[in-house]
Amino acid sequence: MIKRAIVEPPPAELPVEAVQARRFEKARSAQAAAVLEDYVELIDDLLASGGEARPTDIAHRFGVTHATAIKTIARLKREGLATSKLYRGVFLTPEGHGLADRVRSRHRLVVDILRAVGVPEQCAELDAEGIEHHVSDVALAAFARFLKR
C-alpha cells in the first residue's frame, strides 16, 4: 500500500493592513445596518398586510424577546426611521418607508441572481437574507445588468 504525503498549500499572503481593515469595517457596518433594514422591511410588511406593527408581533416574527424588539425599535426611532404611538404600535417615517423599499428591491435582485445561476427558490430566499445586507451597490448594478441580458 502506497501512502501519499498530504501537501498543504502555502499560506496565502496577507493583504495590506489598511485593505484588510477596510474589508472588516465594511462587514461590521453591514451587520449593524442589517438589523435596522430587516426591522423596517418587516414593519412595512406588517403595516401593509394588517395595518399594524406591534412590538410583540415583531418580536415573534424575528424570534427575539420583546425587550430586544423594543430596544431595536428605539434605535429605529433615534435614526428617524420609525415612530410609535402608545397602544398603537410602530409606524415608519417617509425615510423608513424609503429604506424598506430599497431593502425589498435589493432582496428581490439578489434572489433573482441566485435563481439565475441555479439556486433553488427556497435556498435563494434564505441566502438572500444575508447577502442583501453585504453586497455593494456596484455588485447590485452588475447583477441587474447581467439579468437584463
User: What pLDDT is recorded for position 133?
Assistant: 87
User: What pLDDT is recorded for position 11?
Assistant: 66
End-to-end CA distance of the chain: 54
* Position with higher pLDDT, 23 vs 98: 98
Q: If you search the block for the grid coordinates 453585504, which residue do you land on?
A: 134
pLDDT band at 5 (very low <50, low <70, confident <90, very high): low
Measured between alpha carbons, how far is 112 from 114 in angstroms, rounded to an integer?
5
Residue 4 has pLDDT above 70, yes or no: no
Q: State pTM to two decimals.
A: 0.78
pLDDT tens digit sequence for 84-132:
988 889 999 999 999 999 999 999 999 999 999 999 999 999 999 889 9
Sign of CA dihedral 65, 70, 74, 80: positive
Residue 32 has pLDDT above 70, yes or no: yes
User: What pLDDT is recorded for position 93?
Assistant: 97
User: What pLDDT is recorded for position 13?
Assistant: 84
CATH for 21-148 (1.10.10.10, 3.60.21.10, 1.10.600.10, 1.10.3210.10): 1.10.10.10
Virtual torsion, Cα 131, 137, 138, 140, nearest 10 deg: 50
The domain locations on the chain are 21-148
54: left (phi over 0), alpha (psi -120 to 50) or beta: beta
53, 46 in Cβ contact below 8 A? yes
